[in-house]
């Protein structure tokens, strides 16, 4: 115990540390409060090791080294650019969809200047922020009215809260999804104040299951996008038109959470007809009263939750108090409006997500061959062109693989997992695939100008 006290007493106090000459640079750069927090974390770790009886002796040099490393890390932005060489277009962990150049320009301009966000320039009076996107959304989907909130979970929550609070909503058991561990339909339903009425089984739900569930407490029949999974084999589910007809026959609302936000026919962007994805317009044409969807998945815009459908229901949502808590900010609306305008003009290849999904395999093969040729001359490694299975990602078309091309690189001694770790630690981290103890660079998701950064990164790792 006395040895432990002795070792603890050797740790200098915060005031002494803050007076060290080597720390002045960081105090100027980060500020006193930030530096104190970082230093305190380092001191806490030292004390923990001593109290746990670890074989640790305080060293001023090693302490300074660990502090400088921690302060250097604190001086860099936590949210940073990465190179996506995984072939997953809408990569949930990497920020989902990239924003179109025109949308970025509009967002930057809106962020750096005043705007008519809630001002009617013609009338000279207060306006509505939703007005900047409503007409475009209605034009593209065929809806009577529309609303945008901050994400699709918010769209579902708002709709259920405003239209079904205190009532029952009928949902198939096969559609009670969980996405990413935080969006669970039963939990959203409970939070909204609506009661979940499950019908059918995991793999088979019939129209008569919904019909039997309807009672005096029912307000809505709800269909939910399966997102990142598919049930195959012995399955059954009613058609949208059947559900809509049943709902309207009983004067109920038919709502669909369409998830990924497909604004055009899947064939237009190169998706096979058997993906299970259906456009928002098709949902409405099947007589859905309300459809909700994401903006940063297949739609290819910023994060929003879109709500389209019958005007009488959308008007109720706009007036519901929760709508204000879930509303989009001005920068998001600017990016969303610009993205919708690209759709209206048919400029699909100007939307990065659609452009990457639509990429021609032959063009990707040529790109992979050119990249492989450069790498084979620069790296001390085995380099070859390989065919890849890419993915749409973002909870869309989970069973559909996109045919792609890439470059595999194999180190003579280092394993693929270790190389991936090294590449994640670069100033511009690179995330890539791996198989058979070789890393795989998928060219589908490489952006303009990234190949040079990628080549330099690989040189640093493989030729070290």
Residues 182, 417: Cα–Cα separation, whole Å: 29
Q: Does the structure show a pLDDT above 70 at 254?
A: yes
Place of tokens 């989009």: 328
Multiple choice CATH, 101-350, 3.40.640.10, 3.90.1310.10, 3.40.50.300, 3.90.700.10: 3.40.640.10
* pLDDT value for 225: 79
Residues 222, 300: Cα–Cα separation, whole Å: 25
- Dihedral sign, Cα of residue 109, residue 113, residue 117, residue 123: negative
Q: Does the structure show a pLDDT above 90 at 87?
A: yes
Fold held by 83-91+355-462: 3.90.1150
What does the pLDDT look like over 299-311, one tens digit per residue?
999 999 999 999 9
Q: With beta carbons less than 8 A apart as the criterion, state whether 188 and 222 touch.
A: no
Q: Which two tokens stand for residue 70?
A: 């921690």
Measured N-to-C along each axis, helices 60-74 and 32-51 cross at an angle, to the nearest 10 degrees, of 130
Q: Does the structure show a pLDDT above 90 at 2?
A: no
What does the pLDDT look like over 350-385, one tens digit per residue?
999 999 999 999 999 999 999 999 999 999 899 999
Q: Which residue intervals of the chain bear CATH 3.90.1150.180?
A: 83-91+355-462
C-alpha separations of 278 from 142, 263, 284 in Å: 14, 9, 10
Residues 328, 324: Cα–Cα separation, whole Å: 9
Q: Angle at the Cα of 140 (from 135 to 141), degrees rounded to 5?
A: 100
Q: Angle at the Cα of 351 (from 135 to 446), degrees rounded to 5?
A: 160
Q: Which two tokens stand for residue 315?
A: 């008007």
245 burial (CB, 10 Å; 0-12 / 13-18 / 19+) is: middle
Indicate the average pLDDT of the chain: 91
Q: Which helix (H) or strand (E) holds 458?
A: helix 450-462
What does the pLDDT look like over 139-163, one tens digit per residue?
999 999 999 999 999 999 999 999 9
Query: What region, left, alpha or beta, does residue 223 occupy, with left being phi > 0 and alpha being psi -120 to 50 degrees?
Result: beta
* pLDDT value for 150: 96
Residues 419, 441: Cα–Cα separation, whole Å: 12
Q: Does the structure show a pLDDT above 80 at 76?
A: yes
Select from 50, 58, 49 the least CA-distant residue to 12. 58
Q: Does the structure show a pLDDT above 80 at 53?
A: no
Residues 334, 111: Cα–Cα separation, whole Å: 9
Predicted TM-score (pTM) of this structure: 0.90
Q: Which residue intervals of the chain bear CATH 3.40.640.10?
A: 101-350
């Amino acid at each position: 115990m006395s040895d432990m006290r002795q070792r603890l007493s050797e740790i200098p106090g915060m005031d002494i540390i803050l007076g060290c000459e080597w720390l002045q640079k960081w105090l100027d750069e980060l500020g006193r409060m930030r530096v104190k927090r970082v230093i305190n974390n380092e001191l806490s770790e030292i004390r923990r090791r001593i109290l746990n009886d670890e074989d640790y002796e305080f060293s001023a040099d090693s302490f300074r080294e660990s502090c400088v490393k921690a302060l250097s890390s604190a001086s860099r932005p936590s949210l940073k650019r990465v190179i996506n060489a995984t072939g997953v277009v809408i990569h949930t962990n990497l920020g989902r969809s990239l924003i179109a150049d025109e949308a970025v320009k509009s967002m930057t301009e809106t962020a750096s200047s005043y705007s008519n966000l809630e001002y009617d320039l013609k009338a000279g009076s207060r306006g509505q922020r939703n007005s900047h996107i409503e007409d475009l959304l209605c034009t593209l989907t065929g809806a009577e009215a529309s609303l945008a909130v901050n994400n699709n979970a918010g769209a579902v929550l708002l709709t259920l809260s405003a239209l079904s609070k205190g009532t029952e909503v009928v949902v198939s058991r096969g559609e009670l999804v969980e996405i990413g561990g935080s969006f669970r339909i039963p939990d959203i339903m409970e939070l909204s104040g609506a009661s979940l009425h499950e019908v059918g089984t995991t793999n088979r739900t019939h129209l008569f299951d919904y019909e039997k569930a309807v009672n005096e407490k029912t307000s809505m029949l709800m269909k939910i996008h399966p997102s990142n999974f598919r049930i195959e084999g012995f399955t059954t589910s009613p058609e949208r038109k059947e559900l809509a007809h049943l709902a309207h026959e009983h004067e109920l609302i038919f709502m669909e959470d369409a998830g990924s936000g497909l604004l055009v026919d899947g064939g237009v962007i190169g998706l096979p007809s058997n993906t299970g994805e259906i456009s928002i317009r098709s949902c409405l044409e099947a007589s859905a009263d309300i459809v909700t969807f994401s903006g940063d998945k297949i739609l290819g815009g910023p994060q929003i939750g879109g709500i389209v459908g019958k005007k009488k229901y959308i008007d109720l949502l706009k007036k519901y108090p929760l709508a204000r808590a879930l509303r989009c900010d001005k920068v998001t609306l600017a990016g969303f409006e610009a993205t919708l305008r690209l759709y209206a003009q048919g400029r699909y290849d100007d939307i990065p997500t659609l452009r990457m999904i639509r990429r021609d395999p032959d063009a990707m093969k040529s790109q992979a061959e050119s990249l492989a040729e450069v790498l084979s001359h620069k790296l001390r490694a085995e380099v070859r062109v390989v065919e890849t299975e890419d993915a749409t990602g973002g909870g869309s078309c989970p069973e559909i693989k996109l045919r792609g091309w890439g470059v595999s690189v194999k180190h003579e001694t280092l394993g693929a997992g270790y190389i991936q770790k090294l590449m994640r630690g670069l100033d511009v981290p690179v995330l890539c695939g791996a198989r058979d103890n070789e890393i795989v660079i998928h060219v589908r998701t490489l952006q303009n100008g990234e190949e040079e950064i990628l080549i330099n990164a690989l040189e640093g790792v493989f030729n070290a």
